[in-house]
Structure 1
Amino acid sequence: MSRKYKFRSQDDLYFISTATINWIDVFTRSLYKDIVVESLRFCQREKDLDIYAWCLMTNHLHMIIGTRGRKMEHTLRDMKQFTAKRILEALAEHPEESRHDWMLWMMERAGRRMPGNDIYQFWQHDNHPIAVFTPTVLLQKLHYIHQNPVVAGFVERPEDWLYSSAKNYYSSDLPLLDVLLIE
C-alpha cells in the first residue's frame, strides 16, 4: 500500500510525527515518557539516528531526524515496537494505573483490526515524514515542535517542557541555526 508521506532519501532531514493509537494520552506519567526517551537515546547510539529536535506530548511525538546510515523507517519501526512492548509491560506491572483497563481495552480493540498484529496496537503505523529542504521550513518545523506544549497550555515557555529539546535551543546565546548545526 502506498502512502503519500514517505522517506524518499536517507540523505535528507525529516520532520516526523507519530501518535498513540486513538490518540490515547499515555504519556502523562514519567514512567512511560522515560521509556520513549531511553529508546531514542539507544537509537542515537546504536542505530545511527540523528535527532535535531524533539518533543514528546501526552499522546504523540514530533522530531526532526536524520541518519548516519540505517534507514530511518527501520529505526522508527524498531523504536515503536520496543517502546510499545515496554510500556505495555509497565502497564501490566502497575495495575493501579487508573486508566489501566481502559487503555489496554482500547489498544486490544485496535490490535484486532490490524492484520498480523499480536494482540495490542500501541502506536499508529504512519510517521508522516516530511522532508525538510530549506532553512525556512526547518525553522518553521522547529518552532512548531517546541511550541506544542505552550499551545496545549502545559507551560508558558517552550524550554520549560521537560520532554523536549527546546531547552537546548532557547537557553543558548547562539542564533537558532547555529545551535542546530552544533553537535
Structure 2
Amino acid sequence: MKEGYTIKDQTKAHFITATVVDWIDIFSRQIYRDCLINSLSYCIKNKGMILYGYVIMTNHIHLIVQSEQGELSNLLRDFKKFTATGILDLLQNSPESRKEWILERLHKATYSHSRNKNYQVWQFGNHSEEIYTEKFLWSKLDYIHLNPVRAGIVTRASDFVYSSASNYVNGNGVLKEITLADNPVADVLKGWTIVKSEHY
C-alpha cells in the first residue's frame, strides 16, 4: 500500500474506499447492498463506528468513518471480513444467475495472496485519506454524494437510496444511524453556492 494512503492517526475520521476484487459489480443487486447496510448498522451500534457519509456503488463503497475506540484499522478489517463472509453466504445460498462466474473470479483473486485460501471479496487496502479540515470533509461528502449522479444513475444525489445524501437533504435514509456533520448542502438550500450543488 502507498505510504500516503495508510491510516497514521487511528483516532481521526478518514475517507475510505473499499473495492471489490476485479471491480466485479456485485452490488448491482439489492441483496448485497442490503448486506452492507446491515453490516454498517451493526458496526455503528456495536463496534463504535461513527459514520458521517457513505455511498454504495456497483463495485465499490466510499465511507467517511471514525472509530470511537481509536482503532480504525481494526474496525475496517472487521467490517470487510464480516461483509465478505455475508456476501459469500448470499452468493452460495441465494438464487444468483452470476454465481459460478463471480465465485470463480473471487477464487482466482486468492492466487496472489496466501492470506485467503478460498475466496477474496475485497481488494487489500482502503485507500484512506485523513479528514484534516472541515473544508476537506465537505469536499469528500460532496464527492461521495455525487458519485451516483456522475455515474448517470440519478439526476439528484438525494434520490439515490444507498447513500447518505438523503440523510443530509431530507433528514432520512435507508441507513438511519448517520452522524450528520454540519454539511454545507443544508446551507446550499438557503442560497449558498458550491460546485454541482444543483444535483442534490
1:43 alignment partner in structure 2: 43
Which deviates the most, 163-172 or 43-52? 163-172
Taking the TM superposition and a 5 Å limit, the aligned residue runs for 1:1-183 are 3-94=3-94, 96-171=95-170, 176=183
- 3-state DSSP class of the match of 1:12? coil
Counterpart residue type for residue 141 of structure 2: L
Structure 1 unmatched ranges of 5 or more: none
Normalising by structure 2, what TM-score?
Answer: 0.83
Q: Deviations over 1:56-91 (max 9, x none)?
A: 111101011111115111111111111111111111
Is the CA contact 1:112–1:119 (under 8 Å) kept in the aligned structure 2? no
Q: Deviations over 1:107-146 (max 9, x none)?
A: 0000122112121010011111101111111111010000
Q: Distance in 1 between matches of 2:34 and 2:41?
A: 10
State the number of aligned residues: 177
1:11 positional shift: 2.6
1:177 positional shift: 5.0
Report percent identity of matched pairs. Answer: 38
Counterpart residue type for residue 78 of structure 2: D
Normalising by structure 1, what TM-score?
Answer: 0.90
Counterpart residue type for residue 157 of structure 2: P
